Amino acid sequence: GGPGGPGHAPAGAIAPRPGFPACQPAREVRSMPLSPASPREPSNDSSAIAAPRRASSATSRSISPARRRERQDCCVRVVARFRPAVTEEDRPAFTVCPGGRAVETVDGSFHFDLDHVFAEDATQEAVYNYVGKPIVEDVLSGYNGTVFAYGQTGSGKTYAMFGPYAGTGPPEQQGIVPRATQEIFDHIAAGVDTEFTLHCSFLEVYREQMRDLLNPANQALRVKEMPQRGLLVDGLSREFVRCANEVLKVMRTGNRSRSVAATRQNQHSSR
């Protein structure tokens, strides 16, 4: 069709990806950030490394005493997720123990207790609801939050965090990052009295070197500590975003700049 017809996004909008609405520039998301910052920060400035500290109370919602106790008692949770085996692999080396909170080697020589274990048939939604959703709720209540994916090459980190195609695949396959992004913007859209400023940075640490994936030519990165904001990466680029699709656009830009090491296990290894 013609402009504005089928196959075209509204003028000024970003074409939506599966599961995400179009980004409408008419609604401005601005004002106070989630963490303390200068009201006129430049777009290319220091970016905070998340730490378990309280952010500005001006943007915090009330938290029930039970929720606060739960958060204090459980600052870090460790979860394991098993992915389906590929044809080149041998039989599984680990088994999931009854109750889904421990794994052990097949020969019984090692046993590991965890907060939760997801078996091979776990859905992306189930993983997000357990891992990502509580952290998003804390962030919207004024706390910093981190999801850290750890594992060898080919273990499924990228799929768990982003899903296929950097979060642009079918809605049911979207990973933690696109789901968390959409939930944050849904929360903003439902709000009346509170306004937010949201920005994204994309940092790679590879072979003990930091790289700004939104500006690969930027070599002037260094870590420093600020009294009110914790650890910062000085000089890291920032992209201000207004909707989930703009976040996905930033993700695609950063993914194109990642260091990729082709291995027998995975030709698109994440870093």
Would you list which residues are annotated within the binding site for ATP? 151-158
DSSP for 179-201? HHHHHHHHHHHH-SS---B-EE-
Please give the Cα distance from 62 to 55 (Å, whole number): 13
Closest CA to 86 of 271, 263, 270: 263
Cβ neighbours of residue 133 closer than 8 Å, sequence gap 6 or more: 180, 183
Chain position carrying tokens 């090692």: 110
Binding site residue list: 151-158
Strand, helix or coil at 21? coil
Buried b (16+ CB within 10 A) or exposed e, 98-120: eeeebbeeeeeeeeeeeebbbee
Cβ neighbours of residue 232 closer than 8 Å, sequence gap 6 or more: 46, 47, 48, 49, 223, 224, 225, 226
Please give the Cα distance from 7 to 25 (Å, whole number): 19
